[in-house]
Structure 1
């Protein structure tokens, strides 16, 4: 079956992508397959960045790279290469003064762990949230609902921002998410998250399709990324260490430290392949060593001398 055509890039991006592809065809002699691959990756990135790919800075490209984390390394490498070449073209043509493409991922031979947050970092973030929520301002209530769901359920940013208004129900401790590849999974919702969502939903119009609406659609991933950075700075946690994906990573790491196993984590995170979840084996291994040292029947037995 033929691969579906990529969505059209909005506005200025569409014109610049077209110019770039013309250059590849005329000067570099790129093949039709190469041009199609570049077009697909560039258009997709433009749509993700809401038509602002050509003007994106390092922060936006870091967010874009994070949205690729669950893709195969070869796919991430291809997308990064396409965007680096595109930004190189823009700089060479004098269409922008800088080249922010160094912020794009360069996948190596093994999938690396994202930046981590300690329990103390999480405590500072939630203490700040609690102070803000006490003001009862709608934006503070929205932020609390977003972070409670991110850290309390391990959702992907794309899943979170697109939640329907009716998705979190007081009578149900779970919600059903449709993740990558259309796969559905049950996600448990904590009592804290339930309460935070209930307070925020009072400020969401009853006819809204989305739990986190924004003008004609829902809150964008880019805006979520910015809000999380702002919260981190306010909490005294270095913003460069915090993002929606880092909160998802903290959810996974802290669950494992608390005794969860990799198979359970795979289900909660929505990983199709356990190999993806195995980036957390360093945490699981440390827990197992501690378990053996603490619980093995011979731990307290006197040592035998030769």
Structure 2
């Protein structure tokens, strides 16, 4: 089994972790173990990354009662329900053959699991035939406890081509986001990024930058970006239930000191709040989060619509 494509291999070689990556990569396979199946059955969220009909990458969040995602075989999961109207991936998750990357992350336990594969539409939802399944360490995951569902009412969706000032402040205040990337034959992947509030810089309404913290040495995300710059970002408003989704292009920057960062150019923005989203408590920050070199933008910035107040990573 070829665990890595040429993009990931090139990054591993450049950083000098090829042997470690080969060792860690042995955990990647198509099989869903019993412990992974049990973990999935407890989750109220599933992040899904895919390309829309125009080829733009997005990351979206599905929500349901525990059991709405479950393993139905050794290499297959089933998902009940779908995305609300207005989500940029609603159409992609209703089309057979869509390549998807998924990540189930449990803020209660700092555990996460990734599963990538090909989608098939089913009555009342969809299934994913797994091609890659693996778990990740708890680095950079903030701990949270579930509170309540967003109250019933009409959903709201706002679209733009750049961040508004309030959206920019929400990004600066974020301690977590998800990123969807792809590499054509290598499929689509969804991953997590976490850190202290302020770890994502807003350079302008159309440009972001964040550091690439040490992870598990596989470099799946950066490897994908080396071959295909398309990316989709998802910033959840954990306390309010809203979502901020960005689609654009990203590239890795290597510093002379050996540090790495990713620069992202925004091409499309979708901000939404839908009833039924789960609200979570304020975070207990991961002890693995690096301190920021400058005064961070604190968590007091405006939240996404619907938030009553405001107070994670593999590669």
Q: TM-score, normalised by structure 2?
A: 0.23
Higher relative contact order (CA 8 A, sep 6+): 2
**Structure number having the greater strand percentage:** 2
**Structure number having the greater helix percentage:** 1
Bigger Rg, structure 1 or 2: 1
